[in-house]
Amino acid sequence: MKLKCLLISSPIVAVALMLAANATAVPIEFVANLSGAKEVPPNASPGTGSATALFDLANHTLDLHVTFSGLTSGTNAAHIHAPTAFRFGGTASVATQVPFFDGFPIGVTSGTYDRTFDTSDSSFYNPDFITNNGGTVAAAEAAFASALADGRAYLNIHTENFPKGEIRGFLFTPDTTPTIVCFGLGLIGLGMFRRKFRRQLGVRPQ
């Protein structure tokens, strides 16, 4: 009997991609599209931006690339918030460096940013994020990785006119090309991924 396969939309595709990446130690790419409409509450800023975050769990690195333009006033903060209470919505405290990433363009309305971070280094995180997630860097890294995998982390750029954030966007794994995933294998893979991902990061399965 032939195994029936389904064309699965982004949530299960994302899990399958992360399962494959975890098994082969390949970095996982997350992207975000930033706008004022995605802020809470939404605003009418003409500003736009994009971000790419390449997360390498095996080597504990995050390669971050951000571009933005059209902001209404100068930047004064930029970081990743996590974890929100639900996927691709809500707000959360700051998980990464405060008030902004090292070297991020400040006091400007447009710019580009590139930096590689060590996610096993305490300097990458907001100290409160470490405290609120077990008090160790390893636990903070596990919480950060889980938030990324679950679609509960967003990059936020704050400005003088919008101190709570002028443009933001949730980080997600792109699925720009259709991916065939066998439904049965996808469900099995989901369980395997969660157990292996949490075990590697020192987090016990729920």
CATH number of 95's domain: 2.60.40
Domain count across the chain: 1
Length of the chain: 206
At 153, the amino acid letter reads A
* Residue-range definition of the domain harbouring residue 111: 24-178
Q: Closest Cα partner for 64 from 183, 144, 176, 184?
A: 144
Is 106 a domain residue?
Answer: yes
pLDDT in tens, 143-202: 999 999 999 999 999 999 999 999 999 999 987 333 333 334 444 454 554 555 555 555
Distances, alpha carbon 150 to alpha carbons 14, 30, 45, 145, in Å: 9, 11, 28, 9
pLDDT in tens, 51-66: 999 999 889 999 999 9
Give the pLDDT score at 196: 52
Is 99 a domain residue?
Answer: yes
- What single DSSP character describes residue 55? E
pLDDT in tens, 15-28: 445 545 555 568 99
H or E segment to which residue 168 belongs: strand 167-170
Is 5 a domain residue?
Answer: no
Is 15 a domain residue?
Answer: no
